[in-house]
Amino acid sequence: MTFDRSVKIAPSILSADFADFGREIQAIEAQGADWVHVDVMDNHFVPNLTFGPPAVKAFRPHVKTVMDVHLMIAPVDPSIEAYADAGADILTAHVEAGPHIHRTLQAIRAAGMKAGVALNPGTPAEAVSHVLDLADLVCVMTVNPGFGGQKFVDMTAKIRRLREMIGDRPVHIEIDGGVDPTTAPLVVSAGADVLVAGSAVFRGGSVADPAPYGANIAAIRAAARG
């Protein structure tokens, strides 16, 4: 993965057809997805239960771009090696998920993955100020995590603050929650460069008719570029 700040669209497969993940992943990549975003939830840190390492390992052969795995679980550290073995390219942990985010990010990098750190809406940008040299990505939640399809929470001031704090470090700012052609330009103008979108990408399409996926991705990208 070479670093650049061009806008990247990362569809969340939480909105895909759960019975056909392999072909769904292939379809979104063929329709222009830059990354594939995998939301892991544990029904403990967040009120929902989704995927574990075996599912992520099953997704891996279908992902030709970047597999961006977002852990909404606590604790994180005991699972890091399992997600490395499953083939995650980027592994993101929440700063709120445990007391030792510095050690968690060190462990993610030591396992051979890019390290992400996520911030819930109620957590200030300053919570990651001392780990930016260990992070490859900061994920700003623009919904409270746990469910897809939620209404966007405006975090543009936080995004601008993170952009200042990051400076010239090669760190992505990712936005997760409520991203669509209306909200994309707000977050990109504030400094974001990776946009996670679930329902806004998958709406109206299917494996049998994937063209709407491409149209939705293109609409988000065009709006983000202004």
DSSP state letter for 152: P
Pick from 100, 60, 54, 43: which is nearest to 76 by CA?
100
Catalytic sites, residue numbers: 39, 176
Please list, in sequence order, all residues whose beta carbon lies within 8 angstroms of the beta carbon of residue 140, skipping any fewer than 6 positions away: 118, 119, 155, 158, 159, 162, 173, 174, 175, 176, 187, 192
Q: Is 175 exposed, middle or buried (0-12, 13-18, 19+ CB in 10 A)?
A: buried
Is there a contact between 139 and 119 (Cβ–Cβ < 8 Å)?
A: yes
Q: Is the omega angle on the peptide bond into residue 75 within 30 degrees of 0, that is, cis? A: yes
Cβ(1)–Cβ(10) below 8 Å:
no
